[in-house]
Structure 1
Amino acid sequence: MSAPSVSDDPFYGRPFVAALAVIALLLAAANLRGGLVVVGPLVEQIREGLNISASAFSLLTTLPLICFGIISLCVPALSRRWAPQTLAIGGLLIISLGVLLRLVNNYPVVLLGTLLLGAAIALLNVLIPGLVKAFFPRKVGLMTGLYSVTLSAGAGLGVYLAVPLLERFGHWHYPVALWALLPVLCILFWLPMVKVKGVGKPANPLKVSLWRSKTAWAITFYMGLQSFYFYSMATWLPKILLESGLTAHDAGTATALINLVSIPFNFLVPIMAARMANQRTLVLGIFLASFTGIAGLWWQPATAPLLWASLIGIGCGGALSLALSFFVLRATNTAQATALSAMAQSIGYLLAATGPAALGLMRDWEGGWQTALVLMMVLQCVQLVCGLLASRPVNVVPDQDK
């Protein structure tokens, strides 16, 4: 696998445009979670304002994951018709429109806005790894790390600002509306990217199919299982800790550590991955952290909840960043990176959407969390196997994937 040359760099000798590209990518990443997670801390106000039940409210969080799974498969076809920069601008506009529709005091309109929001985020989720490879072929590790950190920071900002903005302005519309304005600001930095040479729609666009690639499937299941793990833990860790005897404050503090602890690993793992011939060491280290965190919850959740949550955070942050790195490292061009990203995120997020429901059903059936946590440990072992296969230095081209 040859290293990218200076001639492959679309910004060589143009540091100002390169800086704009960095800002554009990071601002796009910051918009990919905030508009979704902001509704979590505002659940009671939104339910009261829309006069809906808890199950109806849950659609506002589960529909986007389903959109991620379905729309992701359409992105490679769209990228053969339009340049990825143009699609990114369109996605940002649709994010803004989707959030604005979620401000209307009409539940069907809010659902429509949720569907648009989920579809637009799915579009950008798939496009950005390919754009990282196209914009910064010699710095994919650094840029993937920065992208991953900003993705997590955007989610954290959405949750952190929700209640203060609600208290400051007195209505849940204000913290939600913030996420309709930020995409518009982001577009200002994307407009110059449309003219970047060598990154537009291919002159002879070809359909890239990776469904027969063993490496692509390994990456897909690695992505899916880490998403299953993250969304399951983010949903149920507070209740697991509460039922083990912790106070609501202590359970909330431990849960918050998942995102906080993950940030340095979001940044460092892609940089390390890009410098390695294979990533087996990273796969193993991430597995040990995740497995130990879950095993601790299964064994004695109240003994060291901060330690268990921190280990889970390390595993979640490291696995997400490594999965994003695989999209770039195992592809030879932007089209392959986009196709791999679409395949992995489509199946991955559909799998993730089943996680919280599956664990909740197991808990209701058993009356406790032991069996659900054993399942999580088993799935971590499966994720380890997928990660070891994905870490081989083999591109996702079927006729080369032996």
Structure 2
Amino acid sequence: MTTIKYPDGPFSGRPLLALLAVMALMLAAANLRGGLVVVGPLVQEIRDALQISSSGFSMLTTLPLICFGGMSICVPWLTRRCAPQFLAISGLLVISIGAGLRVTESYALVIAGTLLLGLAIALLNVLIPGLVKAFFPRKMGMMTGLYSVTLSLGAGLGVYLAVPLMNHFGSWRYPMVLWALFPLVSLLFWLPMLKAKGVGRPQNPVKVSLWRDGLAWSITFYMGLQSFFFYSMATWLPKMLIDTGLDAGQAGNATAMINLVSIPFNLFVPILAARMGSQRPLAVAIFLLSVIGLGGLWWDAAATPWLWASLIGAGGGGALSLALSFFVLRASNTAQATALSAMAQSIGYLLAAVGPFLLGMLKDLSGTWQLALLLLMMMQLIQFGCGWHAARAINVVPDQDKAGSALQKLKSPNR
């Protein structure tokens, strides 16, 4: 493996502030999924309270994904005008307001809260990879791994605490309130980050555009296709397993393996990626895990469903962590990392929103899940190709740098 040297971060020699920065990043990550997924286990109670249909309830889960795609592309523009720490604090405040509106009895206010929640989470989704690079340039792998793990744990807590809190307090609103208050606690760790040197608004902000960079597009499609894979599996795997004869409990337990098994891969893939010159061995391993899991479902889903789900969780968790690692490893500075994150997540989450719908349509047309699984395996092959290209030890080149390089060649006396 090749060990890459990085400059000192803003907290070098300041261990207390560095610890606060770690806590700030992790708490922000914990807020990025819990407030969204908490509605899943409370679906019947929320529908009854708001008197809405299934399609009306589906807006609470699909609208945030649309917000992710639309808002992500605007974040680099915001970072050229405001310090990223200030934007992170603002995002947490908006998450709190949005989650608070979702406990009201007005469906219009609930939709407004969902819109705010999706926009604020999209902002933090894009900001955090750049802040990881800015805060801890020598610990990018470890910090990306911890961020990825905390993201998964936040989602898990949102699901697993929902029903117990509702039963304990006697109302579905109490688990929702938890995710309105938690961002306010996180702010206590973010306020000291405003003092971090060298991480504020740049003195001469330059627009970073990567839309004509082939490497950036490879990373973008790798991010998008892994999101397509994850949201498709999270939506339809329980139904796939029930259709093979498993009961709801068995299908739910097998599906839970996806999140459980992904946690160690969330942690260790970024650490390994940061120590490698090329991440191609990781791309190969992730591809094989995912394809074998999908192949097992296609061959005989009921044989060992927990094994197929575990392989899918390992491949999916590793792919997410590798995609997040690409944001910081393929960028030369914080501005490039933010621009790359914005580009990849804006398109990535739009692809993710298409996945569950497309798989459901194939099931309706064919009557079985075989075509849907075949499509996912083909998508994995394309994802692997993108990952193979993105894993090379080179950085993205912004459009303005390419233009400058071309102009320099034209002026060269050797031409």
Cα drift, residue 3 of structure 1:
2.3
- Provide the rounded CA distance (Å) in 2 between the counterparts of 1:218 and 1:319: 13
Helix, strand or coil: the match of 2:161? helix
1:153-175 deviations in Å (ceiling 9; x for gaps): 00000001000000001111000
Mapped pair 1:269 → 2:269: yes
Mapped pair 1:16 → 2:16: yes
- Residue 88 of structure 1: aligned partner: 88
- Provide the rounded CA distance (Å) in 1 between the counterparts of 2:340 and 2:361: 32
Report the AA paired with residue 348 of structure 1: G
- Provide the rounded CA distance (Å) in 1 between the counterparts of 2:47 and 2:172: 11
- Provide the rounded CA distance (Å) in 2 between the counterparts of 1:264 and 1:279: 18
Mapped contact 2:130–2:334 kept (Cα < 8 A) = yes
Query: What is the total number of aligned residue pairs between the two structures?
Result: 400
Mapped contact 2:4–2:277 kept (Cα < 8 A) = no
Report the AA paired with residue 147 of structure 1: Y
- Residue 3 of structure 1: aligned partner: 5
Report the AA paired with residue 149 of structure 1: V
Cα drift, residue 248 of structure 1:
1.0
- Provide the rounded CA distance (Å) in 2 between the counterparts of 1:36 and 1:332: 33
- Residue 151 of structure 1: aligned partner: 151
- Provide the rounded CA distance (Å) in 2 between the counterparts of 1:345 and 1:12: 31
- Provide the rounded CA distance (Å) in 1 between the counterparts of 2:244 and 2:136: 47
**Mapping for residues 88-237 of structure 1, pairs under 5 Å:** 88-237=88-237
Mapped pair 1:364 → 2:386: no
- Residue 285 of structure 1: aligned partner: 285
- Residue 294 of structure 1: aligned partner: 294
Cα drift, residue 394 of structure 1:
1.1
- Provide the rounded CA distance (Å) in 1 between the counterparts of 2:163 and 2:274: 39
1:244-281 deviations in Å (ceiling 9; x for gaps): 11111110000000000000000000000000010000
- Residue 325 of structure 1: aligned partner: 325
- Provide the rounded CA distance (Å) in 1 between the counterparts of 2:108 and 2:258: 33
Cα drift, residue 393 of structure 1:
0.8
- Provide the rounded CA distance (Å) in 1 between the counterparts of 2:171 and 2:367: 38
Report the AA paired with residue 42 of structure 1: L
- Residue 309 of structure 1: aligned partner: 309
Helix, strand or coil: the match of 1:245? coil
Mapped contact 2:35–2:179 kept (Cα < 8 A) = yes
- Provide the rounded CA distance (Å) in 1 between the counterparts of 2:255 and 2:384: 24
Report the AA paired with residue 268 of structure 2: L
Mapped pair 1:376 → 2:376: yes
- Provide the rounded CA distance (Å) in 2 between the counterparts of 1:364 and 1:162: 32
- Residue 257 of structure 1: aligned partner: 257
The runs of at least 4 consecutive aligned structure 1 residues that moved more than 2 Å come to: 398-402
- Residue 75 of structure 1: aligned partner: 75
- Provide the rounded CA distance (Å) in 1 between the counterparts of 2:320 and 2:51: 36
- Provide the rounded CA distance (Å) in 1 between the counterparts of 2:7 and 2:117: 38
- Provide the rounded CA distance (Å) in 2 between the counterparts of 1:157 and 1:376: 28
- Provide the rounded CA distance (Å) in 1 between the counterparts of 2:120 and 2:234: 23
- Residue 409 of structure 2: aligned partner: none
Mapped pair 1:245 → 2:245: yes
Report the AA paired with residue 330 of structure 2: R
Cα drift, residue 2 of structure 1:
6.5
Report the AA paired with residue 74 of structure 2: C
- Provide the rounded CA distance (Å) in 1 between the counterparts of 2:175 and 2:201: 37
Cα drift, residue 130 of structure 1:
0.1
1:62-113 deviations in Å (ceiling 9; x for gaps): 0000000000000000000000000000000000000011111011110010
Mapped contact 2:4–2:275 kept (Cα < 8 A) = no
1:315-369 deviations in Å (ceiling 9; x for gaps): 1100000000000000000000000000000000000000001101111111110
Give me the CA root mean square deviation: 1.2
Identity %: 69
Report the AA paired with residue 272 of structure 1: L
Cα drift, residue 195 of structure 1:
1.1
Helix, strand or coil: the match of 1:81? coil
- Residue 32 of structure 2: aligned partner: 32
Report the AA paired with residue 188 of structure 2: L
Which protein has the larger Cα radius of gyration, Structure 1 or Structure 2?
Answer: 2
Mapped contact 2:71–2:346 kept (Cα < 8 A) = yes
1:13-69 deviations in Å (ceiling 9; x for gaps): 100000000000000000000000000000000000000001110010000000000
- Provide the rounded CA distance (Å) in 2 between the counterparts of 1:55 and 1:133: 40
Report the AA paired with residue 156 of structure 2: G
Deviates more, 1:183-192 or 1:389-398: 389-398
Cα drift, residue 285 of structure 1:
0.2
1:170-215 deviations in Å (ceiling 9; x for gaps): 1110001000000000001000001111000000000000001111
